[in-house]
Structure 1
Amino acid sequence: MIARSLTLGYVPGATPAKWARNWAQRRPDVPLQLTLVAAADAADAVRAGVVDVAVLRLPADTSGLAVIPLYEEATVAVVPADHLLTAADEITATDLDDEPVLVPRDHVLDWAEQPGTPVEHRPETTRDAMELVAAGIGLLLVPQSLARLHHRKDLAYRPIADAPTCPVALAVPDGEQSELIEEFIGIVRGRKPGSSRGQSQPAPKRTAREKTLAKQAARATAGKGVRKSGRAGRGRR
């Protein structure tokens, strides 16, 4: 009998290593296969069954899929290491108004009024665009994880304070999920081993007041039958 497995697709820049480690600890009997997929192909890969689940960037055509928001990335400008913009720790969109900006064909930003002047030549990939940034052809606007992925000593990047963020989500087939997919969703959402796999939402976090009341109740329970003095005795009447 062939062992069951789960295939996780992930777009460039995504870092599924933590989930993979947790999966290996929780389900050592089921291999988790990691597959790098292009951002434009991630949703189709889930719909076609090439991967079971995928970490992808939004917006995307997610018809036929259930989408679980994960986090949002900062948008950064990648510039030559000696560029004037590196003098600041953070920049704004207006700082880029007169700058030539490269727009690769695998561009993933959803920024309707992206600043700068688009360079006529469009490199095929973000990696190719990084080469052109280093050559002084133009700047590049990307999610921070892509700037880190393609980091070079002759490049630097700065966050753009007023730029839209880059949402990242987990996409799974819509409808009833398999046991393995439900368990992986639980790991992504931080559910503990043994919790209900069919739970559609993580347990709500307690408020600060609820935590305080719980601590007070625990202290009161621990103090039953034991005479206390000072502050512990103030709760008694």
Structure 2
Amino acid sequence: MPYALTADDVAIHYAVSGRGDRTLVLLAGQANNRHWWDVARGDFEGEFRVVTLDWRGTGESDKPDSDYGTRGFAGDVVAVLDSLRVERAHVYGTSMGGRVAQWLAVDHAARVERLVLGCTSPGGVHGVERGAAVRRSLAQRDAAAARRALMDLMYTPAWLATHDGPFTTLGDPDMPPHARRRHLAASAEHDCWDALPSITAPTLVVHGTEDVFNPAANAPLLAGRIPGARLELIPGARHAYFEEFRAVAGPLVLEFLR
């Protein structure tokens, strides 16, 4: 299994699939591993060499109990690109992966060809936070109830009524507690607002209109802050729009990357 070694000697596990001369890196959400993309990954494998990775703290990557941050995660992605000897790639990040992708496009602009930011936020005081009711639903002591609440935030009732899973977007079940805390802090502390205008990569911002987990109001904030960015809202979609609404989202992103 391939691993990349970061500047601070953390082993990051990654996987490569698909075909094509161009590389597309898919970045998963908070406290999730590369399997976040298991359903939607096939939308891109026909045209791209697709790279997915396990964030530090998840999957088969190392899980150090040290500071995690979205800017540091961007450095981990660069380590994977270096391991693959890829100088420049398309980058598609969703949720926390979209936060990381922002820093990747800011700090490592030469490595990013085209940028897709899905269901994400600029963070900081300018980002729109989820409401108190959403936070309470996820903090329930009853683990089963909290999981159901998360599923409702990710998918519409109609989708859940006809799909039994397995669901690969609900968190890495094997993460140690310290890594979960570190991921939560990394996502919560993200703030790329001041740096967003420096992004030069052509950028597409995608969001579901019914996303309250990462509120849809963040999408126009990002699109308005990044020069020349294009905004696409998917009506009726919640946080996992890329999976439930893949018939819309997949072709939309492919058209942009082409």
- Scaled by the length of structure 1, the TM-score of the pair is 0.31
Whose helix fraction is larger, Structure 1's or Structure 2's? 2
- Scaled by the length of structure 2, the TM-score of the pair is 0.29
Larger relative contact order (CA 8 Å, sep ≥ 6): 1
